[in-house]
Amino acid sequence: MGESRIPTVSDLGELELLARIRARMREPTPNETWAGDDTAILGWSDDKILLTTDMIVEGIDFDLSYASGEDVGWKALAINASDIASMGGRPAHAVAAVGLRPETSVAFVDDFVDGLLAACDAYGVALVGGDVSAASEITATVAMVGAAIGRPLERSGAAAGDAICVTGSLGGAAAGLVALRRRMGDDVPAVARLKRRHLRPPARVAEAAALVSLAPTAMIDVSDGLAVDLGNLIQASDVGCEVDAGAVPIDPDIRALGDVDPLEIAVLGGEDFELLFTIDPRRTEDAAAALRATGTPVVRIGTVVESGGRLGDRSLEDWRSRGWQHLRSR
Amino acid sequence: MGESRIPTVSDLGELELLARIRARMREPTPNETWAGDDTAILGWSDDKILLTTDMIVEGIDFDLSYASGEDVGWKALAINASDIASMGGRPAHAVAAVGLRPETSVAFVDDFVDGLLAACDAYGVALVGGDVSAASEITATVAMVGAAIGRPLERSGAAAGDAICVTGSLGGAAAGLVALRRRMGDDVPAVARLKRRHLRPPARVAEAAALVSLAPTAMIDVSDGLAVDLGNLIQASDVGCEVDAGAVPIDPDIRALGDVDPLEIAVLGGEDFELLFTIDPRRTEDAAAALRATGTPVVRIGTVVESGGRLGDRSLEDWRSRGWQHLRSR
């Protein structure tokens, strides 16, 4: 009788593993060369390209006791697409470097690649190459290039008097992490949605493309939490902010957890990957109209002021000091 | 009295660490934005960009018992520059994602960044962003974009009758690894050179730029060893090869080790990062002349044939089966 143990990465070896991954990849567009040579060759016609990289690490950014390979692949890709979107860019091409424990199952790797490619399909990205290495923990590092649709939207352009707006809702991803850590089931739909919000974060690519023509003065994605990212935006712009706590779009599903403060988790929770932007206040209605086709709402939460930063009855610094930093929190 | 323990990454926290790294980075060129926003914004004027990523992992690609932070940073950058060069490209911009143990010293990180930037300066690359994460082992993943100087030189263009040529010398990096593992000192200059060859691999960027106008039919960098990379080249080109073992440019310093077979280590040893290319045989002299200004020699080692692969008195498959694959060898 043949052995029935699950095949692992070390059973396959690097070359077979790469061939297996390559076989799952999309066919390159004509005139381009993707994986299979030393680098990918990309057709390009714009004057500005956007380039970013983000790394996620097992035990820090994901936990395999509740995240699947597909979840990890999706997240690795989506967080980079979100960075391109938040610059007012169109994500275009990505490469992925993956560290794998030798005992990692091949099925996990297949799932991981499927998740990467599902996010690529969702956001119009071509995965064009990558690298794999043995490692003692699973890591996924994506680098992505994108084209600026118009003028790139830096975080430094906010001016006093601008409206502060945010897409979608906040706090759901952090609440989903709480639900996952509590091993809550999927029988309550709101809890299931929160968990998915953490495991499959969206990148607001279509939303960013719709906003560019309205010339936001600054834009950033909410990855480290509203308090931290808004703080980064006003610091880069050398301005202040006044945010109405009552206007913060708290994810309504958070109430299903019962024992967390919805505003606190919406302001401090990270990884919602919503777009936070500043814009001429006469254009906030236009922004909402522009996003209608995407199904994603947008709300004004406050105003850029000359200096100081307040969110509700607390200073932004007070809020920020409650946020977390990856290296410290481990 | 103040404490005198060495500051670590976890003492600093992510934001301070990023600020510290950013402070060491070069000033962006006018009209560009580098680290400090969600992505880097890059001026671009070519129609083809080259994009690649390579990851190195502690204990597999480097060993901190003999490699310094600068060595690791240099290597992480140079191996990507080598990939761009081997396509006939000019390395342009890079991003680096780094996984760091919380107990990693800040001095190590400083050294790592210095090594990255030294290689950037050597190869004309702008480091324009990156990411850091806590991890349980040190990893460095660089992604690089480059411009194709002319037509990108893929590995699939070799045709029967072409000359097979290689730059520099082979086997030095693998011999250097042997010397490092044996903890050999620097008193014998040849041994010191071998060790440096392993720790600070070159990227043949200037050499590739000089070769492009001579229209090599295929090119690849020797990263996994001559037998493996030549095998990859002829397989991609659907041709064979006849290599004269006596023509293989064995690094003369290897003799200092005494007990290794110089030809075997030159054919199987990886990480020399020399350029292996095929070219019209009437142009081999021109190739040597074109590289004269770089100080790097180039020699013809064989000829592309219709099928089959031989290197000396063995088939290439026989040689290749002795090579290693990262995931298996751990």
- pLDDT tier, B37 (very low <50, low <70, confident <90, very high otherwise): low
Q: Given a cut of 90, is residue B2 above it in pLDDT?
A: no
Searching chain B, which residue's CA lies closest to the CA of residue A330? B134
Cα–Cα dist B61/B72, whole Å:
9
What pLDDT is stored for residue B46 in this prediction? 53
What pLDDT is stored for residue A271 in this prediction? 95
What pLDDT is stored for residue A45 in this prediction? 57
Cα B312 to Cα B79, B168, B243, B251: the distances in Å are 29, 20, 6, 18
Flag whether residue B228 sits within 8 Å of chain A, measured between CB atoms.
no
What pLDDT is stored for residue B1 in this prediction? 41
What pLDDT is stored for residue B43 in this prediction? 60
> According to DSSP H, which parts of chain B are helical?
9-12, 14-24, 69-86, 106-123, 172-181, 189-199, 205-212, 226-237, 262-268, 284-290, 316-320, 326-329
Query: Considering the entire predicted model, what is its pTM?
Result: 0.89
Q: Which of B49, B135, B236 sits opposite A139 (nearest CB)?
A: B135
Per CB-CB distance under 8 Å, the chain A contacts of B148 are 41
Q: Are the CB atoms for B278 and B216 separated by under 8 Å?
A: yes
CB contact under 8 A, B44 and A42: no
- pLDDT tier, B41 (very low <50, low <70, confident <90, very high otherwise): low
- pLDDT tier, A316 (very low <50, low <70, confident <90, very high otherwise): very high
Contacts of B232-238 with C-beta under 8 Å, sequence gap 24+, read B232/B155, B233/B155, B233/B158, B233/B276, B233/B278, B234/B158, B234/B304, B234/B309, B234/B316, B236/A36, B236/A37, B236/B154, B236/B155, B236/B156, B237/B155, B237/B156, B237/B157, B237/B158, B237/B159, B237/B278, B237/B304, B238/B156
Per CB-CB distance under 8 Å, the chain B contacts of A221 are 38
**In the predicted model, what is the mean pLDDT of residues A207-212?**
96
Q: What percent of chain A has pLDDT over 70?
A: 88
- pLDDT tier, A326 (very low <50, low <70, confident <90, very high otherwise): very low
Token pair 């979840």 is found at: A71
Q: Which of B52, B98, B328 sits opposite A95 (nearest CB)?
A: B52
Produce one character per residue of B68-106: b if its CB has 16 or more CB atoms within 10 Å, e if not.
bbbbbbbbbbbbbbbbbbbbbbbbbbbbbbbbbbeebbb
Per CB-CB distance under 8 Å, the chain B contacts of A17 are 327
What pLDDT is stored for residue B130 in this prediction? 84
Flag whether residue B106 sits within 8 Å of chain A, measured between CB atoms.
no
Q: How far is B15 from chain A (nearest CA, A)?
A: 7
**In the predicted model, what is the mean pLDDT of residues B12-20?**
69
Q: How far is A281 from chain B (nearest CA, A)?
A: 24
In this predicted model, what pLDDT tens digit does every residue of B77-92 receive, in sequence order?
999 999 999 999 999 8
- pLDDT tier, B4 (very low <50, low <70, confident <90, very high otherwise): low
Compare A12 and A53 and report the one with higher pLDDT.
A53
What pLDDT is stored for residue B328 in this prediction? 36
Flag whether residue B203 sits within 8 Å of chain A, measured between CB atoms.
no
- pLDDT tier, B133 (very low <50, low <70, confident <90, very high otherwise): confident
Flag whether residue A282 sits within 8 Å of chain B, measured between CB atoms.
no
**In the predicted model, what is the mean pLDDT of residues B210-222?**
95
When scoring B16, B42, B51, B232 by the number of chain A Cβ atoms within 10 A, the one with the most, hence best to mutate, is: B51
Cα–Cα dist B127/A110, whole Å:
32
- pLDDT tier, B212 (very low <50, low <70, confident <90, very high otherwise): very high
**In the predicted model, what is the mean pLDDT of residues A136-155?**
91
User: If 0-12 CB within 10 Å is exposed, 13-18 middle and 19+ buried, where does residue A264 land?
Assistant: middle
**H or E element at residue A240:** strand A240-243
Cα–Cα dist B326/A19, whole Å:
15
Amino acid at B168: G
What pLDDT is stored for residue B323 in this prediction? 58
Flag whether residue B133 sits within 8 Å of chain A, measured between CB atoms.
yes
Q: Given a cut of 70, is residue B145 above it in pLDDT?
A: yes
Q: Given a cut of 90, is residue B162 above it in pLDDT?
A: yes
Query: Which one of B22-36, B202-216, B315-329 scores highest in mean pLDDT?
Result: B202-216
SS3 content of chain B, % helix, strand, coil (to 5): 40, 25, 35
Q: Given a cut of 70, is residue A43 above it in pLDDT?
A: no
Q: What percent of chain B has pLDDT over 70?
A: 88
Q: How far is A125 from chain B (nearest CA, A)?
A: 14
CA nearest neighbour of B227 among B310, B316, B158: B316
Instruction: Count A/B contacts: CB-CB distance under 8 Å.
Output: 237
**In the predicted model, what is the mean pLDDT of residues B192-210?**
97
A7: which DSSP letter? P
Q: Are the CB atoms for A316 and A309 separated by under 8 Å?
A: yes
CA nearest neighbour of B86 among B194, B304, B236, B249: B236
Flag whether residue B29 sits within 8 Å of chain A, measured between CB atoms.
no
Flag whether residue B134 sits within 8 Å of chain A, measured between CB atoms.
yes
Flag whether residue B41 sits within 8 Å of chain A, measured between CB atoms.
yes
Amino acid at B137: E
Mean pLDDT of chain B: 89
Per CB-CB distance under 8 Å, the chain B contacts of A86 are 38
**In the predicted model, what is the mean pLDDT of residues A218-239?**
94
- pLDDT tier, B327 (very low <50, low <70, confident <90, very high otherwise): very low
